[in-house]
Amino acid sequence: MDPKLHTFLTLCQTMNYRMAAERLHLSQPAVTKQIQALEQSLQTKLFTYDGHTLHKTENCLLLERYAISQQYQFEELQLAIADKKRLKLRIGATKTIGDYVLIDSIKEYLCDPSHEISLVVDNTKHLLQMLDENQLDFAVIEGTFSKTKYDSYLLRMEPFVGICAKNSPLSGKQVTIEDLLKETIIVREEGSGTRRIFEERLIAAGYELSDFNREISISSFVSIKALVGSGIGISFMYQSVISKENGIGTFAVDGITEPHPFHVVYTRNTSARNYAEQFLKFG
């Protein structure tokens, strides 16, 4: 890969000439010179300053997408020249998907002793950043992403359900939001995908979490399911999270319990989709 593009990508990641120089083990003037050389060859400005803050231009964003793709494909070229295959997949997944959806694919893929996997379970924002830094081959996410910046395909539409104790009067019912407001609502921590989806749909219907009788925030799916199963409160989760729970009942609410897409996301104009399809065919 062109060293100037590598320097450019590092600056895009750090948005600071000094930090980019430190990461690259170069002098700051050397980084500046390489960026200026790129700008001269492309006859465009890539970065601008607003006071002391560095900003990307529109053409910088175009070059960044191109350079990220080139970086990934250069590694593919190196493997092809060495007559090797990419046997260790670098996979990212949001929590629900990583903990409950991908396990069958992981087990089947690892049945081949030559296969290896590195799985990172994190939030959507960090996984997309890792894609940009060429630390992942692909990510399977429930969150939103730029469909102009990344290539993707729909893995599946996942049922999003209300959950309650098995013996609750709500179990198996179609109910309204008003029917639930007297309940204790148990949600994931702020920033989690499951909570964000529930809150967005709740607000769209004209309600807020504070409208419930009591709100409890817990980051653990295991703890939430245990509390719901014991009748402490209700929650909303993906079907895959509670599919093997005997003490959990489900209910439906118009506008809230609608299926949500799980997407496979990868760097544009690369062969990464082939690896994703090869891995996910086992699921």
Q: What is the CATH number of the domain that holds 55?
A: 1.10.10.10
Cβ-defined contacts of 141-148 (< 8 Å, 24+): 141/92, 141/93, 141/94, 141/97, 141/193, 141/262, 141/263, 141/265, 142/94, 142/96, 142/97, 142/193, 142/194, 142/197, 142/238, 142/260, 142/261, 142/262, 142/263, 143/94, 143/193, 143/196, 145/263, 145/265
The DSSP 8-state label assigned to residue 44 in this structure reads S
Domain co-membership, 110 together with 229: no
Paired sense of beta strands 53-56 and 214-217, if any: unpaired
Q: Are 245 and 106 in contact (CB under 8 A)?
A: no
List Cβ neighbours of 211 (8 Å cut-off, separation of 6 or more): 181
End-of-domain residue from the set 80, 113, 137: 80
Q: Is 227 left (phi over 0), alpha (psi -120 to 50) or beta?
A: alpha
Q: Are residues 194 and 218 in the same domain?
A: yes
Domain count, the chain: 3
Q: Tokens 């010179």 sit at which residue?
A: 33
Q: Which of 16, 50, 80 is the last residue of a domain?
A: 80
Task: Write out residues in the chain with pLDDT < 70, as ranges.
Answer: 282-283
Strand duo 116-121 + 88-93: pairing: parallel
DSSP assignment letter at 41: H
> What CATH number does residue 176 fall under?
3.40.190.290
Q: Which of 269, 264, 265, 279 is nearest to 86 (CA)?
A: 279
Residue 151 and residue 273 in one domain: yes
Q: Supply the pLDDT for residue 190.
A: 87
Residue 50 Cα distances to 54, 71, 99, 242, angstroms: 7, 29, 43, 50
Same-domain status, 178 and 252: yes
User: For residue 156, what are its two tokens?
Assistant: 């599946």
- On the 0-12 / 13-18 / 19+ scale of CB atoms within 10 A, 26 is middle
For residues 114 and 192, state if they share a domain.
no
Residues 151 and 164 in one domain: no
Q: What is the DSSP letter of 247?
A: T
59 alpha-carbon distance from chain centroid: 26
Q: Are residues 254 and 265 in the same domain?
A: no
Output the CA torsion 267→268→270→275 (10° steps): 50
Give the separation between CA 19 and CA 230, rounded to whole angstroms.
Answer: 52
For residues 75 and 48, membership in a common domain is answered with: yes
Shared domain for 132 and 270, answered yes or no, is yes
What is the predicted pLDDT for the residue at 198? 95
Containing domain of residue 62, as a range? 3-80
Lookup: tokens for 64: 């960044």
Q: The domain that contains 152 carries what CATH number?
A: 3.40.190.10
Domain-ending residue, one of 64, 80, 96? 80
27, 98: one domain? no
